[in-house]
Amino acid sequence: MEKITYSVVVSDAALAMLDSHAAFLAKVNAKAAAKLMDEVLDDMASLSEYPHRFPFYENQFISDNRYRKMLSAKRYVILYEIDGESVFVDYIIDCRQDINWLIR
């Protein structure tokens, strides 16, 4: 069986979320913010291999089996969907925040 390499496409909105998280952290610790960026970007890049390894994101208001979730940098959730040989990253969410805005 041939190994598939998936194309990872990160939305502008997801990148803006990551920038926002890093900017907030940089106010306290610039090194930690740089480490956050590196970890999250590395984790997203790793989705090019075996993106099915993470579970589906379960929520009563989002279609079943639409998004998968990956925990990154200990407290950030990356929500992505797989379509053919492409992985689309749509959200990067801080787990400590209320995410009800996502389901509206």
pLDDT digits (tens, 9 = 90+) for 3-62: 899 999 999 999 999 999 999 999 999 999 999 999 999 999 999 999 999 999 887 666
**66-to-32, 87, 91 alpha-carbon distances in Å:** 32, 12, 13
Residue 1 maps to a domain? no
pTM of the full structure:
0.89
Is the Cβ–Cβ distance between 39 and 75 less than 8 Å? no
Range of the domain at 71: 7-103
CA–CA distance from 39 to each of 60, 65, 73, 90, 94 (Å)? 30, 26, 6, 17, 14
Position 40 in a domain: yes
86-94 and 7-10: which strand pairing? parallel
Tell me the pLDDT tens digit for each residue of 63-99.
678 899 999 999 999 999 999 999 999 999 998 877 6
Write the CATH number for 42. 3.30.2310.20
